């Protein structure tokens, strides 16, 4: 679990690509479009779309942008035909990577991903070469300030969550994929602030990354997330905060 949530913390340290609104909006729009394409344009009956819309609103995306993205996904508006792609890879320090993309050209995207990996001491793996090291889960964070741990754990478990873990200034709440939105809504109904609700590849075990491999790994992760087609990267690493900050 550490790799997933720690990379979020690293992005705060590094002011990484998603802080650039244009890049963030591109990712959010593609996720809304893909969710609407796969599950229909009614968020009430499409939990993935509901979560995508919530994340877009939390990032101050204009309502018109959200509505256009939905209509492009359902075919009401003409738009680019996107497909989902998942790439498995290894990075510096033997870290396993799950790279999720939404693309209109998988041939271009896999070439771009392979190029970033080869330039940054990583390599692309075959299907199922690293997926067995991860579980598909729903995850969200709750800021720890003003929150009583026991109360949050009780509320989350009653709502159907699997686990609640404190990591620095946040609690990470983990669910089964199908329970993600229900748990989020239940916690919000009890006035908890829920952030970054998403489906993630959560590592079963983590690899400690130290020395020269630490800055190399961070450079690779940022290079991958700079690609427009890449939605997110999950990884199975741990890293000391001093290594994060100094990378």
Q: Which of 85, 61, 240, 92 is nearest to 168 (CA)?
A: 240
Domain at 15-74, CATH class: mainly alpha
Tell me how far CA of residue 154 lies from CA of 161, 164, 173, 213, in angstroms. 10, 9, 12, 39
pLDDT(8) > 60: no
Please write the tens of the pLDDT for every residue from 134-154. Answer: 999 999 999 999 999 999 999
pLDDT of res. 1:
36
Q: How confident is the model at residue 14 (pLDDT cuts 50, 70, 90)?
A: very low
Mean pLDDT of the chain: 89
133-203 and 83-132+205-246 share a CATH fold: yes
Domain at 83-132+205-246, CATH class: alpha beta
pLDDT of res. 168:
80
Please report which residue ranges of the chain form alpha helices under DSSP H.
Answer: 2-14, 21-39, 47-58, 63-74, 106-119, 149-159, 180-189, 213-225, 241-246
pLDDT of res. 2:
41
pLDDT of res. 208:
92
Please write the tens of the pLDDT for every residue from 172-224. Answer: 999 999 899 899 999 999 999 998 888 899 999 999 999 999 999 999 998 99
Please write the tens of the pLDDT for every residue from 18-46. Answer: 455 667 888 899 999 999 999 999 998 89
**pTM recorded for the entire structure:** 0.85
CATH architecture of 133-203: 2-Layer Sandwich (3.30)
Q: Where are the domains of the chain?
A: 15-74, 83-132+205-246, 133-203
């Amino acid at each position: 679990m550490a790799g997933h949530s720690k990379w979020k913390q690293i992005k705060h340290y590094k002011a990484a690509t998603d802080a650039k609104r244009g890049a963030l909006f591109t990712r959010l729009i593609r996720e809304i479009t893909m969710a609407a394409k796969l599950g229909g344009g009614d968020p009430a009956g499409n939990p993935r779309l509901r979560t995508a819309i919530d994340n877009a609103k939390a990032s101050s995306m204009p309502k018109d942008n959200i509505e256009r993205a939905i209509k492009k996904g359902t075919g009401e508006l003409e738009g680019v035909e996107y497909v989902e792609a998942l790439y498995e890879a290894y990075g510096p320090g033997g870290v396993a990577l799950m790279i999720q993309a939404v693309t209109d050209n998988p041939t271009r995207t896999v070439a771009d991903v392979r190029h970033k990996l080869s330039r940054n001491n990583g390599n692309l793996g075959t299907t199922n070469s690293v997926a067995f090291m991860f579980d598909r889960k729903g995850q969200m964070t709750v800021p720890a300030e003003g929150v009583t741990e026991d109360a949050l754990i009780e509320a989350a478990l009653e709502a159907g969550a699997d686990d609640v873990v404190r990591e620095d200034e946040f609690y990470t709440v983990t669910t089964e994929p199908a329970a993600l939105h229900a748990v989020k809504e239940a916690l919000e109904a009890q006035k908890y602030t829920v952030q970054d609700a998403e489906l993630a590849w959560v590592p079963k075990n983590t690899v400690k990354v130290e020395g020269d491999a630490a800055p190399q790994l961070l450079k690779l992760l940022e290079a991958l997330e700079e690609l427009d087609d890449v939605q997110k990267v999950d990884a199975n690493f741990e890293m000391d905060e001093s290594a994060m900050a100094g990378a």
